[in-house]
Chains A and B, each alone.
Chain A
Amino acid sequence: QQQVKQSPQSLIVQKGGIPIINCAYENTAFDYFPWYQQFPGKGPALLIAIRPDVSEKKEGRFTISFNKSAKQFSLHIMDSQPGDSATYFCAASENAGGTSYGKLTFGQGTILTVHP
């Protein structure tokens, strides 16, 4: 059972374009939503994260938009660059106390290719 559904599976854009990756979740107890970026041969690394009390968060060229009522959130990459080519994972977790920390439910991943 996939509790976090991510789309699209792959995405190709030209340099300067704005790729958008979408995620939808089912568990209303989720209250922390990070995005991870993964380059080939490496482990994922935290990119940006949001909590449901805000509708948008920006860090540099990366923006998360959050729609609590629809149980959806998305990642936008402004002015995308070839160096942004990577696999992106959305994730979610619920705060169930100390031993729940780090227990993330990940989406399926999106392979982003940015052409020069």
Chain B
Amino acid sequence: DAGITQSPRHKVTETGTPVTLRCHQTENHRYMYWYRQDPGHGLRLIHYSYGVKDTDKGEVSDGYSVSRSKTEDFLLTLESATSSQTSVYFCAISTVWGQDSPLHFGNGTRLTVT
């Protein structure tokens, strides 16, 4: 798993509550990503980071924010969770600079918004 830990692994929350998901890596790689996986949509990029305090939006960023104050941690926050944000969230890292660099994914966080 390239030293990636996602927490929590499962979470159930209520509509309107804030939720923060954590991605922790042990190898100080620069590039980190948050994707969400939904049936019929594959994986879609939410936000990504190319260094401490350097983040940018992906394809489906509305309703999400991120922070990266340390190289090893990339946090994804749902400011006010909605049922449409029920999904499996994956953090990923790139270990090598370049387009060919494979993404290494964590094992995901399954989030249910009721």
Interface residues of chain A, those whose CB is within 8 Å of chain B, are 2, 4, 6, 31-32, 34, 36, 41-46, 49, 89, 91, 93, 95, 98-109
With A43-B90, A98-B50, A101-B94: A49-B42 Cβ-Cβ less than 8 Å: no
Given contact pairs A44-B103, A95-B99, enumerate 14 new A-B contacts (beta carbons under 8 Å).
A4-B42, A41-B107, A42-B105, A43-B92, A43-B105, A44-B90, A44-B105, A45-B105, A49-B100, A89-B42, A93-B99, A100-B99, A102-B31, A102-B103
Q: Measured between alpha carbons, how far is A109 from B109 in the docked complex, in Å?
A: 19
Nearest 6 A/B pairs, CB to CB? A43-B105, A106-B42, A46-B102, A106-B43, A102-B94, A108-B42
Among residues of B, the one whose C-beta sits closest to the C-beta of A44 is B105
CB-based contact A46/B103 at 8 Å? yes
B101 at interface, CB cutoff 8 A: yes
B74 at interface, CB cutoff 8 A: no
Among residues of A, the one whose C-beta sits closest to the C-beta of B4 is A43
CB-based contact B99/A32 at 8 Å? yes
CB-based contact B48/A44 at 8 Å? no
Q: Measured between alpha carbons, how far is A43 from B79 in the docked complex, in Å?
A: 25
CB-based contact B105/A108 at 8 Å? no
CB-based contact B92/A102 at 8 Å? yes
What number of A-B contacts does a CB cutoff of 8 Å give? 73
Q: Which of A31, A42, A100 contacts B107 (CB 8 A)?
A: A42
Interface centre among B31, B41, B100, B106, by most A CB within 10 Å? B100
CB-based contact B97/A98 at 8 Å? yes
Contacts of B74-114 to chain A: CB distance below 8 A:
90, 92, 94, 97-108
Q: Measured between alpha carbons, how far is A103 from B106 in the docked complex, in Å?
A: 16
CB-based contact B1/A43 at 8 Å? yes
With A41-B107, A108-B40: A99-B56 Cβ-Cβ less than 8 Å: yes
> Could you give, for residues 55-82 of chain B, a 1 whenever the CB lies within 8 Å of some chain A CB and a 0 otherwise?
0101100000000000000000000000
Q: Measured between alpha carbons, how far is A46 from B45 in the docked complex, in Å?
A: 16
CB-based contact A32/B40 at 8 Å? no
Closest Cβ of chain B to A98, distance in Å, is 7
